[in-house]
Chains A and B, each alone.
Chain A
C-alpha cells in the first residue's frame, strides 16, 4: 500500500478527474479530524486508503449511465426482437420506426416518491435520451378510479410497457416496497385483457439487491447498468479492497475504525444499511448502504463532518430512510 503522500497523490487525481472537486486536501483533513485514530500514521493511512477506494459516479458518469440504461436495457432487446421477427432485417429505418411504435406504448416513471431522487433521474434520462415529455408519468397517473368504488383501471390507454427507473438498489428493500403497485397493475391489465409489462431498471445495484427484487416482486424484469457483486462488500470475505495476500493489519484497522464510529452515527447499521458495507456514491447523493463514516451529516448529534455527504430521504414506514 502507498504511504501517506502516495495516498494523497491518488486522492488528488481522483479529485481532479472524477470526484468533481469534492475532496480537496482541506476537505479531506476536515473529515480526518473526525477520527482520533488519525493521530497515528497507521490510522490516518487506513482512512486515506479507504477513501482512495471510494467509487463515485459524477454528473458525466450518471448521464452516461442513463444513456446506457435506455440503450442497453430498453432499446436493444426491442430492436433485437424486431429483427428476429422480420427475417433479421438490417433496414435501420424500419427498425427505428418499430422502435418508435413501442416507445409510444411505453411509459417511464420513477420508482419512489416524487420528492425523492428518482425524479431528477427521470429528468436526466429524458434529457440524455431525447425522449418526449409525454412518455413520463408519475405514480398518481397510473390509475383512474378508486379501490373503494371498484372501477380501478389503468389510466394510460394503449400503453403496454411501464418502466420504473431507479438510481440505486442496495438491499432491494425500496424496490420491493414500491413494487406493490405492480401486482395491482398486472391484475388490472389481465382482467382487461390488455397484457402489460412492468420492468425495473436501476443504474447501480448490488447483486444481492437485484436478486431480491427479482425474487420478491412481480416485475417482468429487473436490470441494472452497474452491478456490484459481493466483492464490493468492504469487509466481506471476498472483498476486493483487502484481497488475499494483503496486509491483515490494514483490514483490521479499517474495519475497527469504521465500525466504532459507524456505531455512533448509525447505530442500527454501523457499516451501512443492512450491513451492505459499500464504498459508493453518486453525484446527487450517497446511499446509506455506504459506510456511514463517509456520509453521515445530520443536524443532530453526533457532530460529524462527512466527505461525501448524504441528503436524507423522507422517511417512510418500512422503507430505508
Chain B
C-alpha cells in the first residue's frame, strides 16, 4: 500500500476567531502567552481541558480557572498523561477531539497522541499557533538547565536488534539549540546520522540560522557530510513523508537495523515524527529518543501570527482501488 501523508488536511488562519471546527473535547497545555490563552478562549468545544506542566512551576494563583484544570506533579511523561486521562475520564469513542500542541512539552505531547491512538481514536485535530515574536533567548533554548539524560520517549520505545555493524540510523530534526543536538548525537555515537532542517522555514532567515547553529554540533554529528533532509518547518505531514521516504530508501539498501528519531525542531516537526512513528513503527526496531533536562523556561512570546490546524488520521489499511472511506466525523467542513 502506498503511503502518502501529504494528503491529510491542514488549514491556516490568521486569528483565533477564524478557527474552523467544533469539538467535544479540547485539550491544551497552559501557559500565559496570548497564543495559548486566546485560542483556548475562542475555540468551540463542549469541554475544554487545561493541563498544567509541573516543570514550569506555576503557582496556584497563576493558574487559569475553569471546570477542567489538571495540575500534576509528575515529571515523567507517561505518568503525567496517565494521571490526566484517568482524572478526565476521557471517553474516546465517537468523540471529536482537538489538541492544542502550542503549550505542550514535546514528550508529553507525543505521549498524549500515542494514548489517543492506542485508545482507538483514529482521527483528531491538532492546533499549533505561531507567535509574532520570539524573545531571542527562547528561540534558541527551551531548557534552562543542562541535559540530564537522553532516553526513549514513553510509548515510542522499539524492539531493537543487536547489531555490530554500522546499521543504525539516527534522524534528528534540527532545532535552534545545538547542545540538544550534540547530546542526542553523542548518545547514539555509533549510528549513522541524518539531520532534518525546516525549509521552507517559519521565517526565511531561520533556515540559514538553524544550519549555522547546528554546525556547532557538527563534530558530534560526524565528519561525513551526511545527507541533509528538508521539510517545511510547519508541516507535520510532509515531515512524516520525508522520514518515510528516507527510511524506505535505507531499507532498500539494506542498511537499516535500528532507527532512532529525535525531533528537536519546531512543534509541527515533532508532530510529524509522532505521526510517522504511530503509523509505521509499531513493534519495530525504531524508537524516539529525546534529551531531558530538569528545568525548562517559561515562554514569553508575543502575539499571534497564524494558527495551523492539522487533521491527524489513521486510516485502516485500504486495498488499492477499494471504495472511499465512510464519513469521517470531522471538525472541518
Contacts and interface: CB of A to CB of B under 8 A. Distances in A.
- A joins B in a complex: yes
B211 A89 contact: no
Interface stretch (A138-146, A175-183, A220-228, A286-294): A220-228
A61 B7 contact: no
A79 interface: yes
Interface string B10-22: 1000000000000
A286 B10 CA distance: 34
Interface stretch (A27-35, A67-75, A117-125): A67-75
B134 to A, nearest CB: 12
B315 interface: yes
Contacts of A61: 199, 207
A95 interface: yes
Interface in B219-250: 228, 230, 232, 235, 238
Contacts of B203: 229
Contact of B333 (A84, A93, A225): A84
Contact of A95 (B4, B9, B232, B235): B4
Nearest to B2: A92
A55 B9 CA distance: 32
Given A55-B205, A84-B333, A14 B212 contact: yes
Interface stretch (B57-65, B169-177, B319-327): B319-327
B119 interface: no
A84 B230 CA distance: 28
Contacts of B320: 91, 93
A84 B228 CA distance: 34
A17 B321 contact: no
A65 interface: yes
B321 A94 contact: yes
Contact of A91 (B204, B235, B318): B318
Given A90-B313, A92-B3, A226-B204, A68 B232 contact: yes
B140 interface: no
A227 B200 CA distance: 10
Given A68-B232, A84-B333, A232 B204 contact: yes
B73 interface: no
B1 A92 contact: yes
B325 A91 contact: yes
Interface string B171-212: 000000000000000000000000000011001110110011
Interface string A154-194: 00000000000000000000000000000000000000000
Contacts of A204: 204
B253 to A, nearest CB: 20
A17 B9 contact: no
Given A61-B199, A72-B232, A227-B204, A91 B212 contact: no
Contacts of A255: none
Given A18-B211, A65-B200, A90 B205 contact: no
A22 to B, nearest CB: 14
Given A13-B212, A55-B205, A68-B200, A87 B7 contact: no
Interface of B: 1-4, 6-7, 9-10, 199-200, 203-205, 207-208, 211-212, 215, 228, 230, 232, 235, 238, 313, 315, 318, 320-328, 330, 333
Q: Which 3 A-B pairs have the closest CB atoms?
A: A89-B324, A90-B315, A64-B230
5 contacts: A13-B212, A61-B207, A83-B7, A94-B324, A95-B7
Interface of A: 10, 13-14, 16-18, 55-56, 60-61, 64-65, 67-68, 71-72, 75-76, 79-80, 83-84, 86-96, 204, 225-229, 232, 240
Given A14-B212, A65-B200, A87-B324, 9 more contacts: A13-B212, A56-B208, A61-B207, A65-B199, A84-B333, A87-B327, A90-B318, A232-B204, A240-B205
